[in-house]
Amino acid sequence: MSDLNLLYKQAILEHNRNPRNFGKPDAWTHHAEGLNAICGDLVEVYLTIKDGVLEAVHFDGESCAIATASASMMTEVTTGLSVAQWQARFAQFKQMMDKRSQDQTFAELGQVSTLVTVKKFPSRIKSATLCWYAVDAAIHGRPTATTE
């Protein structure tokens, strides 16, 4: 079952157990939900954007360990970024998680890079990417992101 341990690494299990920035904050400026119809993952993201900076990034919802850990890691890496910087990180993340790409990681993504092993489980890639698409939707004023 070494494959399974690659997916459910300690870092992921730990973030799943103790998700950072989890829970609906008292106030926010942008919000969206991310839906993964395949598995019933639901992630809600709440952003506070001031002067073009993501001052706070929170999430909640009911989702699997991969989606929860990914969201938790994402909030840590993206809080404090400018929207432009966020877009750059999102682009790197998408590239990293692209099924067709090499297993390339990016230093800027920090612990998020550990998610690269999820690519071994194609049906779970969408769990990992859900929260990022939800933030993108929130920034663009769309209420819902669905993983294709």
SS3 content of the chain, % helix, strand, coil (to 5): 50, 20, 30
Determine if 62 is a binding residue for other proteins (CB under 8 A): yes
Tokens of 91: 């682009």
Determine if 94 is a binding residue for other proteins (CB under 8 A): no
Question: Which CB atom, from 1 or from 84, has the smaller least distance to other proteins?
Answer: 1
Determine if 148 is a binding residue for other proteins (CB under 8 A): yes
Q: Which of 53, 64, 83, 88 touches other proteins (CB under 8 A)?
A: 64
Q: Which of 58, 89, 119, 124 touches other proteins (CB under 8 A)?
A: 124
Site for other proteins in 11-50 (CB under 8 A): 13, 16, 35, 37-42
What's the min distance (Å) between Cβ of 34 and other proteins? Answer: 11
Candidates 118, 145, 116; CA nearest to 133 is: 145
Determine if 117 is a binding residue for other proteins (CB under 8 A): no
Candidates 49, 79, 60; CA nearest to 19 is: 60
Burial class (CB in 10 A: 0-12, 13-18, 19+), 104: exposed
Distance CA 136, CA 146 (A): 11
Footprint on this chain of other proteins (rule: CB under 8 A): 1, 3-4, 7-8, 13, 16, 35, 37-42, 61-68, 121-124, 127, 144, 146, 148
